[in-house]
Structure 1
Amino acid sequence: MPPAKPFKIPESVLVVIHTPDLQVLLIERADHPGYWQSVTGSKDSVDEPAAETARREVLEETGFDITALGATLRDWELANVYDIYPHWRHRYAPGVTRNTEHVFGLQLPAALTPTLAPREHLSWMWLPWHEAADRCFSPSNAEAVLQLPRFSSHSTTCRS
């Protein structure tokens, strides 16, 4: 019998990947076709820094190596606390119903082609920020995309 999969940590990141002209990358969930989102993911360990979680998830979900691209990951210093959708609560320890999501922005030099993790995502698209916000299934993701113009020109840079 395989070992039990560990419960997800109820602390995650949301990374809004965008271009200088505010095109936003959205990816479609494999487990829920039609659900479009930015890069998201939970911490691997309680002590993993959120910026490291963001870098790891960007690489896993898009193939974009932030350091190799010379891109800048920015901590927007926003945290969303929300109820975990009931159909995803089985991934968390019993009684865990809320998640804290740390929001980051990642500006790429252009609308690059991602290499998707096929078990996680089906498709991708680049859209103007306001159209991308309308496509996001998650209210916190949509709100983050709507904040992009505010954060794209100035914010705190995460150093490796």
Structure 2
Amino acid sequence: MAAKNFMNHFVLIATAIFAICGFILEIVGLSIRQDNTNYNRKNPLGLQWLFFVFYFVTIAAFLACIWKSVVDGYRLLLLALCSIAFVFTVLDCEWALNVGRAVIDPDNGGDVHTAGLILMGISFITWVIVLGAAHNSGLARAADLTLPTHRPGRTQPTHEKETVNV
């Protein structure tokens, strides 16, 4: 029981940290890309703004989950959102590295695809681990942080003593 509650807390906290880091990365990425006109010609900012909004929605969904104001179906949607956010954050790390290289050494054109592939591999492995942990710990009930005492198919214990008339 304690291990499941710990895993619920861990998954939720890790999700929040990840979404917030992605949100900050979007702000930094937007400021870098607006300054670098050569990069903007190849990569328009529209997709970056889409990710920016996506992370904002993810953080809002996480806060709603913490405040217990959503039903189980939306908690599962939160898991899906945060899983996608995890992958997008690592992809944004690759883009941030590309932008950094393009600014520092424009002759190389910011080519760091090997680093990007390594980051995407780490992202995929971690994503599978997070999904497995969420499945095993019952993330659908994570916002409650308690497990139900009654399960279907089992008799619910009674706390009252039966009186027998003789």
**What interval of TM-score do these two structures reach, taking the shorter chain for normalisation?**
under 0.3
Q: Give the TM-score, by structure 2 length.
A: 0.23
Q: Give the TM-score, by structure 1 length.
A: 0.24
| Larger helix fraction of residues | 2
Larger Rg: 2
| Larger strand fraction of residues | 1
